[in-house]
Amino acid sequence: MEAIATMSFSEALLAALGLTILYLLCTTLWRLTRPHKGPFAWPLVGAFPQLMWNYHRYHDWISDQYRRHGGTLLVPIPFDSLTYVADPRCVEHMLKTNFKNYPKGDRDRDILLELLGGGIFNADGQDWAVQRKTAVHEFSVRKLREHATLVFQEEVGVLVKQIDQAAEQGTPVDLQDLLMRLTLETICHVGFGIRLGVLAPSDGSSEACEFAKAFDLTNQIVAERFVSPVIWKLKRLLKIGGEGKMRKAQSAINRFANSVIQKRREELDTMRGGKNGLQMVENSEWRHGSGNGNGKRNGVLGVSPEASDESSSNSDEDKEKEATGEKRREGSPSLDATRTGPKGRWTLVENEENAKPQIPTTPSSENSEPQDLLSRFMSMRDGCGAPYPDEYLRDVILNFIIAGRDTSAGAITWLFYELSRSRRVEEKIFQELMGVLEAGPGEGGRVAARLTFEKLRKLTYLQAALSETLRLHPSVPGDRKTAVNADVLPDGTRIAPGQFVVWTAYTMGRQESIWGPDAAEFRPERWLGPDGSYRAESTYKFTAFQGGPRVCLGKELAFLEMKAAAAALIYNFRFQVVPGYQVTYGMALTLPVKGGLPVIVTKRWNP
């Protein structure tokens, strides 16, 4: 005790640092050497070398390990470990039954910050609830579906003309690039009320094209962060590797998002006769609680419990309905809450008057307020009556672009890859189109105008083919959660507080225990009942659109767009992947075809 009392401050600091390092080494060694079901773990580095060696085929490697070890995996990595689940019971437990115990968590929000900011896919708690509620309202409006269908018809018609020209020239085209342009155009038109014109021939130098390149690059860089903890932060600090390219990519992304916001604001002012109803307050500041001081806005968000993921109900079904907007409670005051994140802690306080996000009602007149999602967020006010800042709107834009562009375009691309290997399925889709669309030779690009909502709904075999595509090539191949408290999964796996748990849709879609002995086969018929009607599967077995309170709100619109694009292209053309081209996936948050999908196009109908 006397020796301790005579220690200098620097000696005490060094001793504390030494003990901390010793503790970290001991806990890391214990984590890496303890018995586990998964790949071999080396001292200190765990299974990190195998994981990075197989990074180019990451999803297949995880699937191989899952089959080899017979269930839930533990993959130790430096300073942490990853638990992978592909059992529908465990997925339902995480996404629904014990939903509150498995948020994204601060560490993953930090990883995704540059790409998604504080948007709906990177938010938890009340902040997620506010955005979710607004999106629920938007996606439940019938006019949105009607408007979206018209947009799909128009833009798909433009796409058909572009591909028709390529067919006449006899040159291969990158089908994935064209589909990415299509879905970027449609999400900006439907979601943000603006038109880009990106389907027109371009040298790739436009602001939208620069954005697409930067967005894809950022997507890839962020995906790698999930398997390289600490290392990615060091690379960012030293500005090397992909992290060194992030700042330039961010500039291009922000320029595009700010341009969308400014253009939409000007259009809205013009529509309203020059009124500055949506003009942003200059130099507004965020009022935040204890945090890192980076908050930027002075305001209080009033949030109703009906929008909160903390709401309680009498059944799991009620919980899911509450979070998706199907069930609402009346007369509830707002809750005291806080949001903690990389940019500080923003305070949500009790505010009866502003308890609900002020979403404009849908007017019935012809001169009604615009109903696109961005306009709704622009019209909303916080608890102090101030509009949301451009930074917040930027996050809204980027989150809905990754949802509306990357996922749908990727799924349609993989569909045509599978059809190029299964002409039987392609012919069945074509025959269904001939019957439903009642079109004949010579209709050409005009067939897009026949793709009404009612006719698209009748394309059950095409929907089965798209579902089968998403089973084998899920647009979101997996998602990671962070356990808040200790838990036991339905298969007996013990989860520690703070542990990463990954549910992997890619592995689930290829499990014979889930889909039968023909799980590796592309067979749309598995989605059809005896009478030929479409047969949906549980969202915890078929997880392409997630499940539980965070189930995808845009599922119906996604199927409408995918059907419209696929129907018009299959009706007009045949596609063949360029001989010798090796098709595989690229590593990103989504599942794109690596390097695009070059195809040779031939017309079905001769003039």
Annotated binding site for heme: 552
Beta strands in 68-208 (DSSP E): 73-77, 80-85, 173-174
In sequence order, the 6+-apart residues with CB closer than 8 A to the CB of 489 are 72, 85, 87, 89, 90, 93, 94, 495
CA 583 – CA 592 distance, rounded (Å)? 10
CA 545 – CA 542 distance, rounded (Å)? 8
Nearest to 193 by CA among 123, 117, 278: 278
CA 258 – CA 309 distance, rounded (Å)? 30
Measured at the alpha carbon of residue 86, what is the angle toward residues 93 and 105, in degrees to the nearest 5? 55
**Tokens 């499940």, located at residue:** 547
Number of helices (H) and strands (E) in the chain: give both, helices first: 23, 11
Q: Give the DSSP H/E element, type plus range, for residue 339.
A: strand 337-341
| Largest CA-CA distance found in the chain, in angstroms, rounded | 99
**Tokens 């930067």, located at residue:** 214
- What is the rounded end-to-end Cα distance, in angstroms, of the chain? 97
CA 464 – CA 419 distance, rounded (Å)? 13
Quick one: three-class SS letters along 22-36?
HHHHHHHHHHHHCCC
Half-sphere exposure of 102 (CA within 13 A, CB side): 25
Nearest to 479 by CA among 83, 31, 198: 83
Alpha helices in 438-493 (DSSP H): 453-457, 460-472
CA 480 – CA 110 distance, rounded (Å)? 13
**Tokens 């599942």, located at residue:** 591
Kindly state the tokens that stand for 459.
């394309």
Residues annotated as binding site? Answer: 552
Measured at the alpha carbon of residue 291, what is the angle toward residues 285 and 293, in degrees to the nearest 5? 40
For residue 370, the one-letter residue type is P
Whole-Å CA distances, 91 to 84, 198, 464, 589: 10, 38, 23, 19
CA 485 – CA 501 distance, rounded (Å)? 12
Task: Determine contact, residues 346/289, Cβ cutoff 8 Å.
Answer: yes
Chain centroid to CA 15: how far? 46
CA 162 – CA 151 distance, rounded (Å)? 17
Half-sphere exposure of 584 (CA within 13 A, CB side): 10
Task: Determine contact, residues 480/96, Cβ cutoff 8 Å.
Answer: no
Plot region of 38 (φ>0 → left; ψ -120 to 50 → alpha; else → beta): left
The DSSP string of 34-66 is: S--SSS--BTTTBTHHHHHHTGGGHHHHHHHHH
Task: Determine contact, residues 534/460, Cβ cutoff 8 Å.
Answer: yes
